[in-house]
Amino acid sequence: MPPRVKLYVGAPESSSLNWEDETGLLHTFSEPFVRFSRLQHSPDISAVPITPDLPSTSSPHPEWRSLPLERQHLATGLSQGHGWQAESQGASFFALSEIDSFMEDLSQKASQGNFNSSTESVEQILSQFYEESYARHEDIVSSQIAAASDFGTSFTTDHNSFNTTEASLELSTSYMRQDIPASGPLSNLKDLPNAAYLHSIQPQVMTVNIIVGIISLPPPRLIRTRRGTNVELIEALVGDGTKSGFGISFWLPSSPSADGGLRSSVEALRPQDVVLMRNVALSSFRGRVYGQSLRKGWTKVHLLYRNRVDHTDIGGCYRSADLKPGGIEHPQIEKTRAVREWVLRFVGAPISQGKGKVRVLDRSESLPPDTQ
């Protein structure tokens, strides 16, 4: 029996439709939609006249409109109003796991006159991304690295001077599997600057500290670069309740000793984990923002909370009791609590299969706008 796909959609807002303008009506489906639905290309019926009162009987399907997705963000108690300059707002994210959505955007731009995009394949786009991202990873020097707080408070929370305090030291150490790390200034995903801003500050590279939930973590990709080296790439798709769909590329060398323990930290993660990621470099690809690791162990990943499947499962720095509402008031704990609540609601839960094996329930990697 062939698989069945259900699409849950809602009516668009009336402000997004112009009923008098029919020049934007489409007659065929875009290439990503055709591939996804396994349809054959429909002939262009633009030459077939359609009377205003009666539907055309020659058309295989009605004319339709394609509306761009504008993600809405849920307000949380941790969302900060920073008063950005307009040119720095509105970051769109790039993620390898959402390449089909990216290709559909390119197809739409091609239909509007950017014909260069229409001739590029998925393989060409991925190859270009690999080369650009790996080149940045290898060529960035320490003098170019700057934290988001160095650019003012626009891209960080109000807790810019956060360090480990007595509140975190009061936590019982009987359950800790590692020391609780101090995050430093934290950034919400919705507050990350757009690609234009990142381009404007070059050659400086902005780094951020984020507390996020893991949405998906595909197996490593083995990449052979033009420099003749073999490296592995792991992309973590993450969200934090203010926004989701942020891709973070971890470039891992063949020698585990050269990454400062990053490989073991990343490979041990799974969906629903709440993690602290420090010194994540922000880069852009074709107008979209993504994160990537820095060389020589600069980028650190710490497991803060895990929804353990059984008593043998390894947990994070915090227990559920530490994250209960009304508990310890601390910026890092408050952010971890908010991300935990979001990730438990919207990301597939791991289940135990016995003998230390864990399986993650399959869910869509791309979350609906009202979860972001």
| pLDDT band, very low/low/confident/very high, at 80 (cuts 50, 70, 90) | very low
- The percent of the chain in helix, strand and coil, each rounded to the nearest 5, is 25, 20, 55
Structure tokens at 215: 């949405």
Radius of gyration of the chain (CA): 23
Q: What pLDDT, on the 0 to 100 scale, is given for residue 215?
A: 95
Give this prediction's pTM: 0.68
Dist. CA 237–CA 246, nearest whole Å? 6
Q: Which two tokens stand for residue 268?
A: 């041990």
- For the segment 97-123, what is each residue's pLDDT rounded down to a tens digit? 889 888 888 877 766 655 555 578 889
Q: How confident is the model at residue 51 (pLDDT cuts 50, 70, 90)?
A: very low
Strands (E), 217-364: 221-224, 230-239, 244-252, 274-285, 288-292, 300-305, 350-354, 357-360
Asked which of 166-170, 206-210, 337-341 is least confident by mean pLDDT, the reply is 166-170
Contact 48, 59 (CB under 8 A): yes
* pLDDT tens digits along 168-201: 434 433 333 346 788 788 999 999 999 999 999 9
- Residue 6, φ and ψ in degrees, nearest 5: -110, 130
- Evaluate if residue 203 carries a pLDDT over 50: yes
Higher-pLDDT residue of 41, 5: 5
Tell me if 37 sits within 8 A of 29, measured CB to CB.
yes
Per-residue model confidence (pLDDT) at position 8 = 66
What are the structural domains of the chain? 1-67 (no CATH), 96-371 (2.40.50.140)
E strands, 253-333, are 274-285, 288-292, 300-305
**Average confidence (pLDDT) over 28-46:** 61
pLDDT bin (cut points 50, 70, 90) of residue 147 is confident
